[in-house]
Amino acid sequence: MSADDGSAQPGPDGRLRCPWGLSADDYVAYHDAEWGRAVHGDDALYERLTLEAFQSGLSWLTILRRREGFRAAFAGFRIREVAAFTEADEARLLADTGIIRNRAKIQAAVANAKVAAGLAEGDLDALIWSYAPDPAHRPAPRSHADIPAVTAESTALAKDLKKRGFRFVGPTTAYALMQACGLVNDHLADCWVRERVHEPPE
């Protein structure tokens, strides 16, 4: 198969990877060590939910390169701290060149923290993971064309989150969250990481 057919491609070390994982230097470590590995914990999932919302309409690389800036701006994505943000904090964020300065997304991130803070500890984790599909019913994708942008589970997750008051969580964003946080394993069948997502990264 050619490099244009969406199949796994060899990297500089000879290992086969999902093509997007080789499209930029920053992506290699993220693809190998993070993407598709299980993420648990309310704060950790709130961080991913927030970053996926900010990514909407942009390249994930844009977000990845600003992740430390986002963490600094949003108090390490500690839900209860962000939930206490005021209009002055939102104004500060709008002036912060270390993040994406989008008013609607900033306001959504703060509003989502307030909703998450109203849940019992562990409930956000349990809610999101309750929509993880049975992996036995998901054949390993052979190429990028086999990977959906939206699924029934991501549509249901987005609907549930919106019902609870979360913003910027459409089905596509919800599916990107599911992929990134290991609810689904969308590493290609020939990708070296696919069978190692449950192991500590190298």
Reported as half-sphere exposure (CB side, CA atoms, 13 A), residue 88 has a value of: 1
46 assigned to active site: no
Q: How confident is the model at residue 4 (pLDDT cuts 50, 70, 90)?
A: low
pLDDT at 2 over 70: no
34 assigned to active site: no
pLDDT at 197 over 70: yes
Question: Choosing from 35, 47, 52, 131, which is the catalytic residue?
Answer: 52
Tokens 């019992």: give the residue.
120
User: What backbone torsions phi and psi does residue 61 show, to the nearest 5 degrees?
Assistant: -60, -35
Q: How confident is the model at residue 6 (pLDDT cuts 50, 70, 90)?
A: confident
Q: Which of 126, 133, 125 is nearest to 154 (CA)?
A: 133
C-beta separation of 92 from 83 below 8 A: no
pTM of the model: 0.94
20 assigned to active site: no
Provide the mean pLDDT of the chain: 95
Question: Choosing from 27, 46, 60, 192, which is the catalytic residue?
Answer: 60
What ranges in 34-184 are assigned the alpha helix state H? Answer: 42-55, 60-64, 67-73, 79-83, 87-94, 103-117, 123-129, 152-163, 171-180
